[in-house]
Chain A
């Protein structure tokens, strides 16, 4: 099993450009999450999904959109990138079973917006 994978690993954008980050998991998890981590800080939840076709806002959703068209994939979109979105983005997934929410993380995408 690959677990949670993220594409791409690195990306440099210019202000105003758009891009989509892809997260894929092969553990048949119901829940998926997108976080951002800024230097010296913890993870902040951007958006999450509790099932295929459903999404919800987290702590810092502004400037991002998400889609969960397939259970195994969770896409994070930046429509018009801003320097404040320079960060490391982590995707995670967890199982709904037992309601305990142990999360499995991807390796991260390092995004720089110039």
Chain B
């Protein structure tokens, strides 16, 4: 299964600090995506990294991918209270992706 496993399951930080979440997966992938879910809402796509990329940036987000270790990390810099949400990685193929159980991030003002 391509299913991602996020680590840690929960993370609590102070506003302004950086938050790092990790994802491991088991099989080869075409790309890996990260999504955010605010409580009670649908998932929102954050960033996608292709299997031939090692690092990608988008605003305060930085994603790395190590295909040899089958792992990825999501770094959120200078966190804000509005970043409080669950974050899911989604290792992907061409037609579908699978989601892990997510990292629950709490940013304390």
**Chain A residues positioned under 8 Å from B40 (CB to CB):** 108
A interface list, Cβ under 8 A from B: 4, 31, 33, 35, 40-45, 48, 50, 58-59, 90, 92, 99-108
Interface size range of chain B in the complex: 20 to 34
Contact A100 B31, CB 8 Å, known A43-B88, A90-B42, A108-B42 = yes
Report the Cα distance A100→B35, complex, angstroms: 14
Nearest neighbor of B30 in chain A, beta-carbon distance: A99
Contact at A101–B88, with CB atoms within 8 Å?
Answer: no
**Chain A residues positioned under 8 Å from B31 (CB to CB):** 100-101
Contact at B101–A101, with CB atoms within 8 Å?
Answer: no
Contact at B97–A101, with CB atoms within 8 Å?
Answer: yes
Report the Cα distance A101→B96, complex, angstroms: 7
Contact at A101–B42, with CB atoms within 8 Å?
Answer: no
Contact at B96–A42, with CB atoms within 8 Å?
Answer: no
Contact at B98–A105, with CB atoms within 8 Å?
Answer: no
**Chain A residues positioned under 8 Å from B43 (CB to CB):** 43, 90, 92, 103, 105
Interface hub of B33, B42, B50, B94 (most chain A Cβ within 10 A) = B42
Contact A105 B42, CB 8 Å, known A42-B100, A42-B102 = yes
Chain B, 36-53, CB within 8 A of any chain A CB: 40-45, 48, 50
Give 10 nearest A-B pairs by CB, closest first: A105-B42, A42-B99, A43-B99, A42-B101, A99-B94, A105-B43, A101-B92, A42-B100, A102-B45, A107-B42
**Chain A residues positioned under 8 Å from B58 (CB to CB):** none
Nearest neighbor of B44 in chain A, beta-carbon distance: A105
- Asked if B95 is at the interface (CB within 8 A of a chain A CB), the reply is yes
Q: Give, as a whole number of angstroms, the nearest-CB distance from B35 to chain A.
A: 8
- Asked if B93 is at the interface (CB within 8 A of a chain A CB), the reply is yes
Report the Cα distance A31→B96, complex, angstroms: 9
Known: A59-B98, A101-B94, A103-B43. 12 other contacts (CB 8 A): A31-B95, A31-B96, A35-B99, A42-B88, A43-B43, A43-B88, A50-B95, A102-B33, A104-B45, A105-B44, A107-B41, A108-B40
